[in-house]
Amino acid sequence: MPVYMVHGFRWPRAGFTGIRVYVVLHNLEDAAAEYLQQPLTSQLMLDSLKQTNADVMSKLPDLQFIEQYDPDDTTSVEAVSKPYAFVAAKVMTLGEPGEPGANLSWNTEELDREGAGLSESGQEALAQLRDRLAPGEKIGWWLVYNGDPAREYPHSDEEEYEEIEEKPTMRLPAALTKLFGRRNDN
């Protein structure tokens, strides 16, 4: 259950420039608008952004989508997805305690001093992308909790579907078939 420190902006799911509309307008049929951090969705979104915003994406090579998610929240209206995802030019993960090499803390003064590690043109590109996708959203550092980044659905080995009995095809009288323009092959 990682905690991410991201530098970027929030991209709303709703609205004319929101994630859901973007997915539909760009015909990203296999993308999950409710969870951009899913690997296939992330790749589809990044590929699409590279096609539609090539001028800025070339300056943002490490762009990622990060989602907030609390697996223990099963009742709120935001249990499946929050109203926005994060578009991040820099992502740092706070590791699990006990993991080798895990960052367990960050000095916020160092983050402010070092910034996101973007060049001036990279910062301008992030601002341009924000203006196109989420006008008015703040660019900055965000602390984001995701209790289950993979969000895998547990599959059952058992067959959950009932077998449907096949019944013989019903033959319609010739008069009805002729009325509706179908031929009777018998």
45-64 confidence digits (pLDDT tens): 999 999 999 999 999 999 99
What is the per-residue pLDDT for 102? 57
Residue 165, in any domain of the structure = no
Residue 169, in any domain of the structure = no
Say which range, 11-25, 58-72, 92-106, has the weakest mean pLDDT: 92-106
- pLDDT tens digit sequence for 103-133: 666 677 777 666 677 889 999 999 999 999 9
For residues 181 and 122, the model is more confident at 122
Looking at residues 64-83, what average pLDDT do you find? 88
Our separate counts of H helices and E strands in the chain read 6, 4
From residue 142, how far is each of 4, 40, 50, 106, 145 by CA, in Å? 8, 24, 24, 13, 10
Angle formed at CA 150 by CA 50 and CA 61, multiple of 5 degrees? 25
| Structural domain count of the chain | 1
Bridge partners, residue 84, by sequence = 12
Closest alpha carbon to 63 in 15, 117, 109, 104: 117
What is the per-residue pLDDT for 181? 64
pTM of structure: 0.74
Residue 172, in any domain of the structure = no
Residue 139, in any domain of the structure = yes
Show the tokens assigned to 56: 């800025």
Residue 18, in any domain of the structure = yes
For residues 180 and 44, the model is more confident at 44
Tell me what the pLDDT averaged over the chain comes to: 82
Is pLDDT of 31 > 70? yes
Residue 106, in any domain of the structure = yes
User: What is the span of the domain harbouring residue 50?
Assistant: 3-145
Residue 184, in any domain of the structure = no
What is the per-residue pLDDT for 1? 66
Is pLDDT of 178 > 60? yes
Residue 78, in any domain of the structure = yes
Looking at residues 129-141, what average pLDDT do you find? 96
